[in-house]
Amino acid sequence: MSIPDTDDPIGLFAAWHEEALQCGLKNPTAMALATVDPAGRPTVRMVLLKGFDVAGFVFYTNSESRKGQALEANPVSALCFYWPPLDRQVRIEGPVARVSDAEADAYFASRPRQARIGAWASRQSHPLADRFELERRLARFAAKFAVGAIPRPPYWNGYRVRPQRIEFWREGAFRLHDRLVFTRDGEDWRRERLFP
């Protein structure tokens, strides 16, 4: 079955994403995030998609982490979703910018309490002497925030990838895959099919 012709890549992504949510995957919002570190070396890891719309694709992280430092030095990235039960993947490339403080605050407040405390306790990507060091920090911040609201740490931020290129891929028999790519042209999209 061919990927349908459409002029709306965000709408197509929304449809595929909804199917992924329904197909029984453990983490259907998991995506590979590729960045370029300050020395120009590429690096990739898995993160979770926390929202998307015509403005872009959003995830959250510690801006002092390795990925946060990479994004500050080179604010571009690539994302890749792979949904094996559906024989589909989506690749997205584009510049990255932080979400607004209000948006980050709202999302942080929606997280489970323990996850909010964990964001304070973890010095993401920094050396850790042993597991007990993390447990001590967790206990310290659990006591500090035992009652009341837990504010968002100043280093915990959201990032939005503004897509410049989106490629939809569907597995085909005999490796004759179906590929449909959208490239941003101003505020519009240019669409073309690619050889597998």
User: Closest by alpha carbon to 163, among 55, 46, 50?
Assistant: 55
pLDDT in tens, 83-104: 999 999 999 999 999 999 999 9
Right CATH for 9-109+155-194 from 2.30.110.10, 1.10.3720.10, 3.90.550.10, 2.40.50.430: 2.30.110.10
- Are the C-beta atoms of residues 165 and 95 closer than 8 Å to each other? no
User: Closest by alpha carbon to 65, among 135, 127, 151, 114?
Assistant: 127
**Residues 174, 144: Cα–Cα separation, whole Å:** 59
**Could you list the active site residues?**
175
**pTM of whole model > 0.85?**
yes
**Average pLDDT estimate for 22-35:** 97
Domain ranges in the chain?
9-109+155-194
- Are the C-beta atoms of residues 89 and 25 closer than 8 Å to each other? no
Confidence of residue 5 (pLDDT cuts 50, 70, 90): confident
